[in-house]
Amino acid sequence: MANDLTTAKTVTLRDRVGDWIFKHFWHSDMRPSPILVREYTKVLMNVAAADGVLADAERKWILGNFLAKGGADEDVEFFEKYTPSKQEIEETLNVRPTFVQEISRAILFESFQAASADDELHKDERNAIFRLAQIMNIPEAEVNEIEELFKAEVAHRKRVVDLMFPKGIKGTCDVSIHEFVNK
């Protein structure tokens, strides 16, 4: 008889976070395999750099997104050093058309997020996202809707944070910590 402890899959903290992220943000109990998370992240990095620049804030956002989705440890260093290229995204679009088609809307949504990680969606970044959508055969009306959903989510999160933390999160933490450390 097999021991349940030896046959059970080890669940890492990153697995738990990834499961929570997919349940909370995508309403799914299923999380993609590490290879899909890796390839998705490569596409996302290439889209974010489509304007010719992958800003440090964009790389950090994408790496955080990768880690939050349960990305593999062995891929972290790869993405810290990864250099996006136009050739690679074109190859992905041509070689893996089903993968790209299936993830296209999510990639566009998260591209708006990643490109805005430096607190500004630059015109070139926006244009690059729309060009990619055109290559993916996503109608412009849908891309506009995805962009509006992105903007609405940003505005909603700001409203939530402003209401929950009127002094800001730092101000709230600075005031509250004294009750714990000065006793």
CA dihedral 125, 129, 134, 137 (to 10 degrees): 170
Q: How many whole angstroms separate alpha carbon 98 and alpha carbon 62?
A: 22
Best CA proximity match to 139, nearest among 102, 114, 95, 104: 104
In the chain, where are the structural domains located?
Answer: 10-138
User: Cβ(67)–Cβ(13) under 8 Å?
Assistant: no
Spell out the residues 6+ positions from residue 104 whose beta carbon is closer than 8 angstroms to its own.
133, 136, 138
Kindly indicate whether the domain formed by 10-138 is annotated with CATH number 1.10.357.10: no
How much is the mean pLDDT over the chain? 87
pLDDT confidence of residue 144: 98
Joined tokens for residue 80: 């810290």
The pLDDT tens digits of the residues spanning 117-133 come to 988 888 888 988 998 89
Q: How many of the other CB atoms lie within 10 Å of CB of 28?
A: 12
Best CA proximity match to 157, nearest among 126, 124, 116, 123: 116
The pLDDT tens digits of the residues spanning 70-122 come to 888 899 999 999 998 878 877 877 778 888 888 899 999 999 999 899 888 88
The pTM score is 0.83
